[in-house]
A and B are shown apart, each in its own frame.
Chain A
Amino acid sequence: MDHFEIFGLPRKLRLDAAELQQRYYELSRRTHPDIHQGAPPEDQAQILETSARLNAAYRALRHPIARVEYLVRLEEGRETAEGAAVKPKAPPELLAEMFELQEALAEAKAGGLDAGGRERLAAEREQLLARHREEEERLAGPLSEAWDAAAPAERPRLIEAFKEALAARAYLRTVIDDLGAALGESQDGYVANRRH
Chain B
Amino acid sequence: MLSQIQRLSQETEGRYATDEELRFLTDYARSFELRVQTYQKLQSHEVMIVQQVQAKMKSIDPMLFRQGSEDLTHKWKRDTLRVLRYSAAAMLIDDPESMRERFLFWFQTIMRAFNAQKTCGVTYTVMQDVIKQVLTPSEANLVLPILEVNRRMLGTV
A and B: interacting chains: no
